[in-house]
Structure 1
Amino acid sequence: MTKIIGIGNALLDIIVPIGSDEVLRRAGLPKGSMQLIDNETRLRLQEMLSGFSSAEAAGGSASNAMQALAHLGGQAGFVGAVGPDRYGEIFRKCCGEAGLEVRLMQMDEATGIATTLVSADGERTFGTYLGAASLMAPEYITERTFAGYDYLFVEGYLVQEYDLMEAVMQQARQAGLKIILDLASYNVVCDHYDFFRHLVSDYVDIVFANEEECAAFTLVSDPYEGLDALSEHCALAIVKLGSRGAIARYHGGDVFFADALPGCTVTDTTGAGDYFAGGFLYAMSRGADLTKCLQAGSLLGGTVIGHLGASLPEEKWHEIRLKMKDILNGRF
């Protein structure tokens, strides 16, 4: 079976349903965005949210995707950095329970925290304190970092560190891995547009994007035209269309489509794109065609949005694994 390792920010998600978006205005966080914050701002945000209920779970885009892949039975790993604290231990424990091989660097800095504000419509907004994750540097990345794996899944949130991203891409290539990039967030793509174009054109084989990220990268608003434009830069492009399903295209090939999972109740969209990637990559690792890969992604993405946070109970994973068998056997 194909082995896939992810690299990204090892973060503990603190998920807070907020009801009114007035909280976002007071916090200075644009709805649906990911904003990097310093520790002082994180503490102010924590105080502002002290009266709200919350939940904790291991997070970070690449970590979520790889945990989903491992829960399905895929061979997956994760590279990141945590601190010597309770949050770092929670992160390790969650990854281990998922069956994920972790290659974590321990830094003398607090584990990163993604404060995830969930609006009444399920849209999530992130105030992210990177902490130890921000200390992951090029000198820590060697060919041995990715040894034993076939693909590297890179979260686009790492793009703020240009030297690190270059080192990751170069070492993965030298180790013989193919590279998968998730575009992360529309505002991240806009802020680092030229560098994203360079990475995709020079290193990346597979790109995941949602509609907004695809439009930000290609400067084309129509998602189908955007998919065509995106696939000109890589071997395979996937664009997620939310409730309208997902589309994919190999470079120079036909467009494939799959519907969204029917009957989804949106509680929290945290991790939806990450879980989509995990499901898609699991089916891909089993040799499935693009339609089945898209269906697998929609199954996971459509399931996780019915739960608070990017984690699912074991009984739900059992149900998902049965449905995944149906997808792979053409019975979905």
Structure 2
Amino acid sequence: MSRVLGMGNALVDILARMENDELLKKLNFPKGSMQLVDAETSSRVLQEIANYAKEQASGGSAANTIHGLSCLGVSTGFFGKVGKDELGAFFKKDMSENNIEPKLLESDHASGKAVALISPDSERTFATYLGAAVELSAEDIIDELFHGYTHFHIEGYLVYNQPLIEKALKCAKEANLIVSLDLASFNVVEDNLAFLKDMVAKYVDILFANEEEAKAFTSKEHKEALEEMAKHCNIAVLKLGKKGSLIKHFESIFEVGIIPANSIDTTGAGDLYAAGFLYGLINLLPLDKCGAIGALLSGNVIEVVGPKMETDRWDKIHTELEKLRN
């Protein structure tokens, strides 16, 4: 049986919808970026949105993907670090309630949180305080962590701790797991380009990137970017938002469309696409079907605020999934 282990920053998402983008200018946050902030800046952002309507959900890129896989019926686990606080307890409870094995370490410091500032056009900009999540270290990676798993999904956000991500990728490959990496954010790629290219070439089987991340990784766009990505791994997946996605495996390129959707928040769209794609792969479906399942999940999650979907929406997804599998 296939089992997927995810590893990433264990964060609680605080989601706030903005009436315009003036706050981004005030905070000097590039729209659509992920900004790593300190505790003081995080508090300032929370003060700025004190009167906004807000929602809370366990988050972090890899955790969102693992949650999606679990909702599709895949056996999963998640490795990360949280604080011994209310947010940490919230994160762990959410994992357990969704049948995800919480392989969580605990810290005396505060749990990480990501404030998602959602623009009127549904684009989101993150102010991320890593807190306890950043304390995950290479020494925490042990061989036993990967026992019983067949796949390993990791987020690019961890790349700021290069010894950690390198040891995790190396151990996963030595344990014969299929490794997938989501590049996470264009500024993350720009800051760690040489290292990321080295890691992908050595250890990564499946590489996920959106247009901006792919451009940062390859200095190219669209199919040229896809071709360049595919030189470094077995399967390259380029997510193009409203234009669908492109997948390359050896000499084959697949173009995948989208489903009609009323987008209100793109938080989790890429993460849920990865969940759908990996689900298809685990079930030995053709790569165009894997992409179509990714599109099904991402098209649904952008119709809700945050990276989580309610049970009745998942029921509809499962109905559509049966049609796609046949």
Common fold, TM-score beyond 0.5? yes
Q: How does 1:13-28 map to 2 (within 5 A)?
A: 13-28=13-28
Q: Which amino acid in structure 1 is aligned with residue 274 of structure 2?
A: A
State the partner residue of 1:214.
214
- Correspondence 1:271 to 2:263: no
Task: Tell me the secondary structure at the aligned position of residue 58 of structure 1.
Answer: strand
Matched residues in 2 for 1:311 and 1:180: separation? Answer: 21
State the partner residue of 1:80.
80
Task: Tell me the secondary structure at the aligned position of residue 50 of structure 1.
Answer: coil
- Correspondence 1:142 to 2:139: no
Report the CA distance between 1:121 and its aligned residue: 0.2
Report the CA distance between 1:61 and its aligned residue: 0.2
Moved more, 292-301 or 90-99: 90-99
State the partner residue of 1:173.
173
Q: How does 1:1-332 map to 2 (within 5 A)?
A: 1-221=1-221, 223-250=222-249, 252-262=250-260, 264-329=261-326
Q: Which amino acid in structure 1 is aligned with residue 310 of structure 2?
A: P
Matched residues in 2 for 1:77 and 1:238: separation? Answer: 23
Matched residues in 1 for 2:74 and 2:325: separation? Answer: 14
Matched residues in 1 for 2:122 and 2:153: separation? Answer: 26
Matched residues in 2 for 1:104 and 1:328: separation? Answer: 34
Matched residues in 2 for 1:99 and 1:292: separation? Answer: 25
Q: Which amino acid in structure 2 is aligned with residue 227 of structure 1?
A: L
Report the CA distance between 1:97 and its aligned residue: 2.2
Report the CA distance between 1:178 and its aligned residue: 2.0
Report the CA distance between 1:166 and its aligned residue: 1.2
Matched residues in 2 for 1:303 and 1:26: separation? Answer: 32
Kindly report structure 1 stretches of 4+ aligned residues shifted beyond 4 Å: none
Report the CA distance between 1:133 and its aligned residue: 0.2
Matched residues in 1 for 2:292 and 2:17: separation? Answer: 29
> Can you give the 5+ residue segments of structure 1 that lack an aligned partner in the other structure?
none
Task: Tell me the secondary structure at the aligned position of residue 19 of structure 1.
Answer: coil
**1:226-271 deviation digits (Å, cap 9, x = unpaired):** 1111101101100111111111011x32101211112x11100000
Task: Tell me the secondary structure at the aligned position of residue 265 of structure 2.
Answer: coil
Contact 1:3-1:285 at 8 Å conserved across structures: no
Q: Which amino acid in structure 1 is aligned with residue 30 of structure 2?
A: P
Task: Tell me the secondary structure at the aligned position of residue 18 of structure 2.
Answer: strand
Contact 1:15-1:116 at 8 Å conserved across structures: yes
Task: Tell me the secondary structure at the aligned position of residue 127 of structure 1.
Answer: strand
Q: Which amino acid in structure 2 is aligned with residue 212 of structure 1?
A: E
Aligned residues: 326
**1:191-222 deviation digits (Å, cap 9, x = unpaired):** 1111111111111111001111111111112x
What do you get for the CA RMSD once the two structures are aligned? 0.9
Matched residues in 1 for 2:84 and 2:321: separation? Answer: 37
Q: Which amino acid in structure 1 is aligned with residue 19 of structure 2?
A: G
Matched residues in 1 for 2:176 and 2:109: separation? Answer: 32
Report the CA distance between 1:303 and its aligned residue: 0.3
Matched residues in 1 for 2:269 and 2:107: separation? Answer: 29
Matched residues in 1 for 2:115 and 2:135: separation? Answer: 19
Q: Which amino acid in structure 2 is aligned with residue 255 of structure 1?
A: I
Moved more, 123-132 or 99-108: 99-108
Matched residues in 1 for 2:321 and 2:97: separation? Answer: 20
